[in-house]
Structure 1
Amino acid sequence: MARLIIIEPRSSGCLLIDRARELGHDPVVLTADRDERRVPRERLAAASEVRIVDTNDDATVLDLLKTLHEATPLGAVLPGFEHYVPVAARAAADLGLPGIDPDAAMRLHYKHLMRQAVTDAAVDQPAAVLVTEPNEVEAAVTKVGLPCVVKPVNQSGSLLVRRVDTLDEAVLAVDRIRDPAATYLGRQTLPVALVEEYVRGPEFSVEGYVHDGEAHVLCITEKMLGPEPEFVEAGHVLPADLPAGLAAEVTSYVRRVVAALGLGLGPFHAEVRVADRGPLLMELGARLPGDHIPTLLSLAQGVDMHAITLRAYLGEPVGAATPGVRRQTAGIRYFLRPEIRRFTTMTVDPRLADDPRITEISLLHSPGAEVPDPGSSSGRLGFVVATGATYQETTALLDAVDAAVVFS
């Protein structure tokens, strides 16, 4: 049994608490318990201890972890969300625990450092230019061409990521990123932006982990995106319906990216688009995939990414380093209704709601509450999770539920 730290768990990171307890460990949660940094109370109930601390203050977090370690030795420090990968890596290094190299953690979190590391390793990726001042936008757009993508370097959930078709749109997108009010999880968006080549082609995510210096790919997931110019994720289906040759090419490419970034331990979630010239990196997170993808992976292939993550960070044997056996396909579809900013009820055709292939239909916002801006993942209203014997069966069922759900 190990006493382990989970810093600010969100999304899939919340289930690390339950899984750690189920595996016989003592999970201690660090959370600010304010703004968006609130862990659901039903998840916190599984923690052996909860410490309220400003998780955005690295010095305070590191001091607290040193004190906790001196009182009762810790077995691991895990980031509960991608914003906390750097501080978890620094804490692990300071305490002599297994963890990501702190320099690699910076490359894995800050997207401009990620782009530079991949370029230095001579791995193909979209052209990108870092813009630090408004007067640099025109030169950046000229270099990468139009349309292009403007994104912040330290945010998540598609926040402030936008395709632009003109120079004026690019200037406006950079201005939004530089706005002091642009915050998430109580963190200021850095006032710099990446202007990147727009890649045409289908998008996939690659779920895997690194153990003993080797990257293992568990699954390739097909991604569905909402309408551009935003890039809000509308759904996922796994395993993706890909020809074997293309799947092998994507897998090989992602392994090269992982090596270029220096990720030496733990889970990863890589996002790539397949262009005419091959797979190209959108970004890679040293974390569990979000959007219930670990649940889909468990449903479809019997793979437990939460257990893999905990064992990797504890320095324990991870187990079989091969993808799970495909039993079925699984998918999730988010309800995108950008015209709705407030609703009181959600209704679903009972014939669909009672279908045994549907494992969950849930809301993401309370009835009557104002729905956030639809330009990021926060503006999604709810979701459905479903399984099927084939890719086509699963996607057809997700389509049917999405069309049948009514908000009023």
Structure 2
Amino acid sequence: MRGAQELAAFLDELDGVPVVVKPLDSGGSDGVVMVAGPQDVPAVWRLVEGSGRTVVLAEEYLDGPEVSVEAFSHDGVHTVVALTDKVLGTGFVEVGHAVPADLPEPVRRQVSELTTALLDAVGLVEGPSHTEIKLTGRGPRVVESHNRVGGDFIPDLVRLVHGVDLLRLAVGVPLGLMAWRPEPRQAEGGAAVRFLLAEPGTVTEVTVPEALDPAVSLTLTAKPGTEVPPLRWSDDRVCGHVIATGDTAADAAARCVEAVSRIRVGTMP
């Protein structure tokens, strides 16, 4: 899209379906905005121009929960290693993940087949990939895909649950330092991550309980004086995160939520 008129015309073409606008030159949900209707077009395009951009990508908004597919390709053969559940905050910013995704087997199969078909279509031959998919009422739909590992500590969750180190494989297999067996790795337990969030402002105090669940690992980056920006993209998550393991992904996610609820990051506007 190269202007407000093009954006309005695309919105009209979709006949009432919202549109998602995103930059062509960024990531981490930076600058991703939903246009609910024609009334939003002028304000959204002012945001685009305010960011110094003149061209953006516009897509049909896809309803439903989001998952990602962590895969590894070798000699053109794609292996789905893990499926990841996502928790979205404001502005489509991801604030949590859990492995393995809690999906019925038919949906897991649909998601996996859609991903491998996409990787075939784009010609990926070697290395990791991270594909984000929405589970819409019309079935799974691709949001975006990348020829890299996922961010937000997803490789750590995959390693904890499936025993596959995607980062090491990404370097070791192409160099002939590691072997790759293209076969599914069954999940053993579950793992999850949640980011610590706080109200925008200057951090005045950080309170951490004396003891956390032994299955929870805390990384705390906020301290008095840290500036917490509004949550607009991934780099605005400046307070830290927790990673937990459990018998299931739901168990691990619950431990994350419980730990986060006991950690206070106080701010002053």
Using structure 1 for the length normalisation, give the TM-score.
0.61
Q: Deviation string for 1:20-47 (max 9, x for gaps)?
A: xxxxxxxxxxxxxxxxxxxxxxxxxxxx
Q: Tell me how many residue pairs correspond in the alignment.
A: 264
Structure 1 stretches lacking a partner, 5+ long: 1-130, 182-189
**Aligned pair partner of 2:227 in 350, 366, 370:** 370
d(CA) in 2 for partners of 1:395, 1:371: 24
Q: What's the CA shift for 1:200?
A: 1.1
Contact persistence 1:179–1:191 (CA under 8 A):
no
Tell me which of 368, 385, 388 is aligned to 2:246. 388
Task: Give yes or no for the alignment of 1:246 onto 2:117.
Answer: no
Give the direction of change, closer, same or farther, for the CA distance of 1:319–1:257 in structure 2 (3 Å limit).
same
Asked whether the equivalents of residues 173 and 180 of structure 2 are also in contact (C-alpha less than 8 Å), the reply is: no
Question: What whole-Å deviation, never above 9, does each CA across 1:209-238 have from its counterpart, x for those lacking one?
Answer: 1110111110000011014xx101010000
* One of 134, 139, 146 as aligned partner of 2:9: 139
- Offset of 1:364 from its aligned partner? 4.1
CA contact (8 A) 2:206 2:222 kept: no
1:63-74 to structure 2, matched below 5 A, reads none
Please identify, of 394-403 and 309-318, the stretch whose mean Cα deviation from structure 2 is larger.
309-318
Is 1:407 matched up with 2:268?
no
Residue 379 of structure 1 is matched in structure 2 by 236
Q: 1:174 aligns with which of 20, 45, 51?
A: 45
Residue 299 of structure 1: how far off its partner (Å)? 1.0
The one-letter code matched in structure 2 to 1:294 is P
Which of 125, 128, 131 aligns to 1:264? It is 125
Greater relative contact order structure (CA < 8 Å, 6+ sep): 2
Asked if the contact 2:77–2:182 (Cα under 8 Å) also holds between the matched residues in 1, the reply is no
Alpha-carbon distance between aligned partners in 1 of 2:129 and 2:45, rounded to the nearest angstrom: 28
C-alpha change, 1:261 and 1:366, in structure 2 (3 Å) is farther
Match of 2:139 in 1: 278
Q: Is the 8 A contact 1:149 1:198 kept in 2?
A: yes
- Larger % of helix: which? 1
* TM-score, normalization by structure 2: 0.91
Residue 180 of structure 1 and its aligned partner are, at CA, apart by 4.9
Q: Deviations over 1:105-161 (max 9, x none)?
A: xxxxxxxxxxxxxxxxxxxxxxxxxx1123212101112334221111221000010
Which of residues 180, 185, 198 is equivalent to 1:319?
180
Query: Which secondary structure does the structure 2 equivalent of 1:280 belong to?
Result: strand
Matched, 1:341 2:201: yes
1:191 has 2:54 as partner = yes
The CA deviation at 1:365 is 4.6
Instruction: Kindly provide the CA deviation profile for residues 322-343 of structure 1, in whole angstroms up to 9, marking residues without a partner as x.
Output: 2333221000001233x32221
Q: CA RMSD in A?
A: 1.8
Identify if the C-alpha distance between structure 1 residues 316 and 329 changes in structure 2 by more than 3 Å, giving closer, same or farther.
same
Alpha-carbon distance between aligned partners in 2 of 1:318 and 1:199, rounded to the nearest angstrom: 38
Hey, which of these two has a bigger chunk of strand by percent?
2
